[in-house]
Amino acid sequence: MTATTSLEHSNHSESRPSGYVGRFAPSPTGPLHFGSLLAALASYLDARAHNGRWLVRIENLDPPREDPQAADSILHILEAYGFDWDGDVRYQSDRNDAYEAVLQQLIASADSFPCVCSRKQLAGNEHLDGQCVAQPPAFDRHSIDLSIACAWRFKVAAEQQQPLCFDDRLQGRFCLTPSSDIGDFVIRRRDFLWSYQLAVITDDHDQGITHVVRGIDLIDSTQRQILMHRALGWPSPSYMHIPVAVERNGQKLSKQNLARALQADDSGNTLWTALDWLRQQPPESLRGAGNTAVLQWAVEHWQPDVLKGLQQLPAPEGFQRSGV
């Protein structure tokens, strides 16, 4: 199988009558590691415990940072651990037309503007009030030329000085003030690559995602996504941000920090360890019982509330890098 081939799994939509639709959406910048497995497992269990659908989406939007083998490797490991997703895998690299249509809609509604500012010119300040501070390219909102080499930013009005809050299922009420905490953020880069923020809301809406379960390291993106939902007249999904696994030195377990790649394991022991980390208290009798048995037990006993208020937990010894 290749990263450009849709890997098909059984479509269980008829046997899953609930309105819940969740997803796991890894970036193929490296192999799946224990931290990624936790996000996959939590999102899978929450979907299946609600008798919902669980989709897999490969967020391959940044070719310079991607590992050509990573997408296939991630899907192989998910299959090896017994994860059964609904429908075909979606690859964001196939979605350029959809993202362009959303950008054009935001430009037409004056919610996006072109910007040629360099990082040096911005000096860390993205509170532009909808106006490029360098030499803004002239453009007509009714005749848009997206071939211009500039970034497109989502406009956050300076008057948006009231906190924008949402109720996270685990972290409680989380607030940011758009005008001071967010500013005008990039939704298409100057090199014509799509930003995570625009692509994720486009695909979540198109795929009917109702519940997002992901790591707390992404919680700051939520208000940006809610702002875009509102501009487009789209509903926002429910959010649940689980704690992240950290190394002994406090660094997040991540591909960037060279977290150890997961190996295929049909014993169920790795899933058992992940459940234990998620404080699900799996019985010792499940050790070595196989992935199918572990997942079945986990769906039936899923209790995410035990993670309420937790933002990070130490990664298990066997999954940390040595010497950190």
Residues 131 and 24 in one domain: no
Distance CA 235, CA 216 (A): 21
Considering the domain boundaries, does residue 154 fall inside one?
Answer: yes
Distance CA 64, CA 288 (A): 40
Residues 88 and 232 in one domain: yes
Residues 312 and 216 in one domain: yes
Does the pLDDT value for residue 114 go beyond 80? yes
Mean pLDDT of 90-111: 96
Considering the domain boundaries, does residue 4 fall inside one?
Answer: no
Given this model, what pLDDT does residue 13 score?
A: 43
Among residues 161, 181, 198, the one where a domain terminates is 198
According to DSSP, residue 248 is labeled T
Question: What percentage of the chain reaches a pLDDT higher than 90?
Answer: 68
Residues 131 and 156 in one domain: yes
Per-residue tokens: 277: 């980390």
Q: How many domains are there within the chain?
A: 2
pTM across the whole model: 0.89
Given this model, what pLDDT does residue 229 score?
A: 97
Dump pLDDT digits (tens) for 204-254: 999 999 999 999 999 999 999 999 999 999 999 999 999 999 987 777 876
| Closest to 308 (Cα-Cα) out of 252, 246, 250, 243 | 243
Given this model, what pLDDT does residue 261 score?
A: 86
Residues 150 and 208 in one domain: no
Residues 204 and 303 in one domain: yes
Does the pLDDT value for residue 6 go beyond 70? no
Range of the domain at 293: 13-92+200-316
Question: How deeply is 313 buried, as exposed, middle or buried, from its count of CB atoms within 10 A (0-12, 13-18, 19+)?
Answer: middle
Does the pLDDT value for residue 113 go beyond 50? yes
Q: Which helix (H) or strand (E) holds 197?
A: helix 196-206
- Give me the torsion for CA of 276, 282, 284, 286, rounded to 10°: -110
Q: Which long-range contacts (CB under 8 A, 24 or more apart) does 190-193 make?
A: 190/116, 190/149, 190/150, 190/151, 191/149, 192/149, 193/61, 193/62, 193/63
Considering the domain boundaries, does residue 50 fall inside one?
Answer: yes
Considering the domain boundaries, does residue 8 fall inside one?
Answer: no
| Closest to 21 (Cα-Cα) out of 174, 216, 210 | 210
Q: Which CATH number fits the domain that encloses residue 54?
A: 3.40.50.620
Quickly state the pLDDT bin for 12 (edges 50, 70, 90): very low
Quickly state the pLDDT bin for 299 (edges 50, 70, 90): very high
Residues 189 and 236 in one domain: no
